[in-house]
Amino acid sequence: MDVSVAPAPEEAAWILTDLLGRPMGRVREEPEGSFRVVAAGLARETLKTMKLGPFHSLDAALAEIERFTRSRCRRVPQKRGTGRPTAKDES
């Protein structure tokens, strides 16, 4: 089960979906520099025993999802000038 990761518009969060487009939740940055996984849909059951945060970076949160689910998190390519890239995205 691979997970697609895309920046949420107008929000300090990244949207998680499975490859069939079903919502899995979000990774939210709150407060700044602290990331937390908020599971949704069928992922609530899948991730219920996983550490949901706080994580020091988006990459650390995604790595925990990958480790726990034995899958890959793939960032959705953004068109230039869209999304919400930050320095933490690339850490």
36-46: per-residue pLDDT in tens? 999 999 999 99
Q: How far apart are CA 16 and CA 82, in angstroms?
A: 17
Domain for residue 64, yes or no? yes
Domain for residue 16, yes or no? yes
Q: How far apart are CA 65 and CA 2, in angstroms?
A: 10
Number of domains in the chain: 1
Q: How far apart are CA 16 and CA 76, in angstroms?
A: 10
Domain for residue 53, yes or no? yes
Domain for residue 55, yes or no? yes
52, two tokens: 């949901």
54, two tokens: 């706080």
Which stretches of the chain drop beneath a pLDDT of 70? 79-91
Q: How far apart are CA 13 and CA 71, in angstroms?
A: 20
Give pLDDT, residue 78: 73
Q: Which domain holds residue 67?
A: 3-77
